[in-house]
């Protein structure tokens, strides 16, 4: 039955690497609106590629913070143009690419407090940032600060025990330490530091929004057990950092009503609530309604693999984050930098820039690719920290090229062998009943998902909507307003559409990939040693 024309709606947003997306749902969880703004093509003045600027050192990667603000202006205009009645929105929540940081200039809170609804946000906030180019998750320029932090707290494993991860260059604390050392004046002129998620919540709230526990776990600063900033980590990063960060809050918190700017400019209701924003991966966990035993594989700009866990066992590889929907639980995550952008490069070079041709190459080549194994690290990888393109034939001999079709299968098989290898090292194992839940841009490609199913030897499911982070935030907005009456997240989303089965493993998959996985692990070790020497 269609919902009444004035029934409540819940808005979810996702400030991801390449675009800003929105999904509105009704109280019955049906999607009523969907829209997006592509940064490169719709905001060309900022001259980004894939939403970012890669600096000449090849390590520093940033995005213009005003591009994100302008994207929100544009998205809201698009939603209005498409007929979304903002007055029906009961709550809004959102997510952002994880780890990115926004530096608000001294005095910005006053500007936020008096936003003139006649003007656009990007005009109003032009002078509100002490740093124009926000470091993002693709940055790997803070190696020195990572070493310093680990030394200060008693080693990599100790840091992982406190914060859920050893030091990673993209993690926000290390970015803050780098900025403080390299751009002291801008740092001095900063009154508040947000994550991309809490920055976006701040725009809606008109005052500084708290960092939530789940996205806050990606900073190397939060004690994931006490769910408070770790004094040890804060002190090792910058003086008085807790003042710049504000107190962290549960990811399910209702932060307050939208600011009067949104009421007057777009017709939001004064009682529309802002529910804490979180990271895109935690938001995907919510959107996919991940259950214990499932493994989620997100194929966006980055590829990520994540599982729901009850007891954290931090290690030197992978990350443990506080769970975004259950205060007692955690999630484990692996992140791979060379995901869609690398697949797209191979598509452009070997498949005439067409996903259809790319898919045909996967269909026309055999499982196991005749024993050929490829590693494709266009930029220095996170898991494992290796770089370069490395091709091996079935005898483990290095080769310099393959036919276009073999190259296409090699990039996809190599990526998924790596996802499985590292997920198993994190404690994940395939058991009868295991579901692989796929999301992100590439999850619309059935042939890619068939390879995923074969390599994992498990069925692959997707949601109708490839963008689970955005949908997860619409669910979280709804949960935020209902949580006060004691409803759990799973109660709230129990009638959401079930994921659809899209691929089952080929009968020979286990035989082909068991052996290949062992060879892959040995070859990866070799590639890694090469990178380190």
Residue 274 neighbours by CB under 8 Å, 6+ apart: 91, 92, 93, 201, 204, 205, 209, 254, 255, 256, 257, 258
Binding of residue 98 to ligand ADP (CB under 6 A): no
Helices marked H in 125-195: 143-153, 156-163, 172-182, 184-188
Among 18, 48, 93, 97, binds ligand XUL (CB under 6 A): 97
| 324 contacts 303 by C-beta, under 8 angstroms | no
- The site partner of 488 among ligand XUL, ligand ADP, none (C-beta below 5 to 8 Å per kind) is none
Binding of residue 18 to ligand ADP (CB under 6 A): yes
- The site partner of 101 among ligand ADP, ligand XUL, none (C-beta below 5 to 8 Å per kind) is none
Q: Give the other-Cβ count within 10 Å of 458's Cβ.
A: 23
166 closest CA partner among 359, 392, 317, 374: 317
Q: Please, what's the b/e burial string for 193-227 (b: 16 or more CB within 10 A of its CB; e: otherwise)?
A: bbbbbbbbbbbbbbebbbbbbbbbbbbbbbbbeee
| 402 contacts 410 by C-beta, under 8 angstroms | yes
Binding of residue 137 to ligand XUL (CB under 6 A): yes
Min separation Cβ 298 and ligand XUL, Å: 7
Min separation Cβ 508 and ligand XUL, Å: 32
Taking CA atoms, 511 is separated from 368, 409, 457, in Å, by: 10, 18, 10
Among 214, 301, 304, 457, binds ligand ADP (CB under 6 A): 301
Among 19, 217, 304, 439, binds ligand XUL (CB under 6 A): 304
Give the pairing of strands 303-309 and 295-299.
antiparallel
From the list 41-49, 174-182, 185-193, 437-445, the region that binds ligand ADP by CB under 6 A is 437-445
Binding of residue 287 to ligand XUL (CB under 6 A): no
For ligand ADP, give the closer residue by CB, 29 or 341. Answer: 341
Helix (H) or strand (E) holding 364: helix 355-364
- The site partner of 355 among ligand XUL, ligand ADP, none (C-beta below 5 to 8 Å per kind) is ligand ADP
390 closest CA partner among 380, 400, 381: 400
Binding of residue 99 to ligand XUL (CB under 6 A): yes
For ligand ADP, give the closer residue by CB, 227 or 345. Answer: 345
The residue behind tokens 């991860």 is 165
| 33 contacts 86 by C-beta, under 8 angstroms | no
Min separation Cβ 212 and ligand ADP, Å: 19
Q: Which of residues 386-445 bind ligand XUL (CB under 6 A)?
A: none
Separation of alpha carbons 73 and 19, rounded Å: 13
Among 133, 212, 223, 280, binds ligand XUL (CB under 6 A): 280
Separation of alpha carbons 282 and 531, rounded Å: 31
Among 91, 156, 442, 463, binds ligand ADP (CB under 6 A): 442
From the list 12-20, 71-79, 140-148, 250-258, the region that binds ligand ADP by CB under 6 A is 12-20
Binding of residue 281 to ligand XUL (CB under 6 A): yes
Instruction: Give the three-class secondary structure for 228.
Output: strand
Min separation Cβ 369 and ligand XUL, Å: 27
8-state DSSP, 3: P
- The site partner of 476 among ligand ADP, ligand XUL, none (C-beta below 5 to 8 Å per kind) is none
- The site partner of 312 among ligand XUL, ligand ADP, none (C-beta below 5 to 8 Å per kind) is none
Tokens of 266: 């777009």
- CB-based closest residue to ligand ADP: 441
Instruction: Give the three-class secondary structure for 1.
Output: coil
For ligand ADP, give the closer residue by CB, 344 or 390. Answer: 344
For ligand ADP, give the closer residue by CB, 266 or 355. Answer: 355
- The site partner of 281 among ligand ADP, ligand XUL, none (C-beta below 5 to 8 Å per kind) is ligand XUL
| 160 contacts 166 by C-beta, under 8 angstroms | yes
For ligand ADP, give the closer residue by CB, 38 or 114. Answer: 38
Among 48, 302, 338, 457, binds ligand XUL (CB under 6 A): 302
Give the interface with ligand ADP as residue ranges (CB under 6 A).
16-19, 300-301, 340-341, 343-344, 355, 440-442, 444-445, 448
Give the interface with ligand XUL as residue ranges (CB under 6 A).
17, 97-99, 137, 170, 218, 279-281, 300-302, 304, 333, 335
């Amino acid at each position: 039955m269609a919902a009444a024309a004035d029934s409540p709606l819940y808005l979810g947003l996702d400030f991801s690497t390449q675009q800003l997306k929105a999904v509105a749902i009704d109280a019955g969880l049906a999607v009523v609106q969907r829209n997006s703004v592509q940064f490169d093509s719709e905001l060309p003045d900022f001259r980004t590629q894939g939403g970012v600027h890669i600096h000449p050192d090849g390590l520093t990667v940033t995005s213009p913070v005003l591009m994100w603000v302008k994207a929100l202006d544009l998205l809201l205009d698009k939603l209005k143009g498409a007929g979304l009645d903002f007055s029906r929105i009961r709550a809004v929540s959102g997510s952002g690419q994880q780890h990115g940081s926004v530096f608000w200039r001294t005095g910005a809170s006053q500007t936020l407090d008096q936003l003139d609804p006649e003007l656009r946000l990007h005009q109003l906030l032009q002078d509100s940032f002490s740093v124009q180019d926000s470091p993002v998750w693709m940055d790997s320029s803070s190696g020195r600060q990572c070493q310093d932090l680990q030394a200060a707290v008693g080693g990599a494993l100790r840091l992982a025990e406190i914060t859920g991860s050893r030091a990673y260059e993209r993690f926000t604390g290390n970015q803050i330490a780098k900025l403080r050392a390299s751009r002291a004046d801008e740092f001095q002129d900063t009154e508040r530091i947000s994550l991309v998620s809490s920055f976006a919540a701040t725009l809606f709230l008109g005052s500084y929004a708290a960092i939530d526990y789940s996205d806050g776990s990606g900073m190397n600063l939060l004690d994931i057990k006490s769910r408070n900033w770790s004094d040890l980590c804060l002190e090792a990063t910058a003086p008085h950092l807790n003042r710049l960060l504000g107190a962290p809050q549960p990811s399910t918190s209702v932060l307050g009503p939208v600011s009067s700017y949104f009421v007057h400019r777009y017709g939001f209701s004064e009682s529309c609530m802002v529910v804490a924003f979180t990271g895109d991966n935690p938001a995907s966990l919510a959107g996919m309604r991940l259950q214990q035993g499932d493994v989620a594989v997100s194929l966006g700009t980055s590829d990520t693999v994540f599982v729901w866990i009850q007891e954290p066992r931090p290690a030197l590889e992978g990350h443990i984050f506080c769970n975004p929907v259950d205060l007692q639980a955690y999630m484990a995550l692996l992140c791979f930098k060379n995901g869609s952008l690398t697949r797209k490069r191979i598509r452009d070079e070997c498949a005439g820039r067409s996903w259809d041709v790319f898919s045909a190459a996967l269909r026309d080549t055999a499982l196991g690719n005749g024993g050929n194994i490829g590693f494709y690290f266009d930029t220095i990888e996170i898991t494992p920290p290796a770089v370069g393109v490395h091709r091996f034939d079935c005898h483990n001999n290095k080769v310099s090229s393959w036919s276009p079709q073999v190259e296409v299968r090699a990039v996809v098989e190599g990526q998924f062998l790596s996802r499985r290898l590292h997920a198993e090292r994190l404690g994940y194992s395939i058991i009868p009943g295991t579901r692989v839940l796929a999301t992100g841009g590439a999850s619309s490609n059935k042939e890619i998902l068939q390879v995923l199913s074969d390599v994992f030897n498990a069925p692959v499911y997707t949601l109708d909507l490839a963008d689970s982070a955005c949908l997860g935030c619409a669910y979280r907005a709804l949960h935020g307003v209902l949580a006060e009456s004691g409803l759990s997240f799973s109660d709230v989303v129990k009638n959401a559409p079930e994921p659809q089965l899209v691929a089952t493993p080929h009968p020979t998959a286990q035989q082909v990939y068991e052996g290949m996985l062992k060879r892959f692990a040995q070859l990866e070790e070799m590639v890694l040693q090469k990178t380190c020497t």
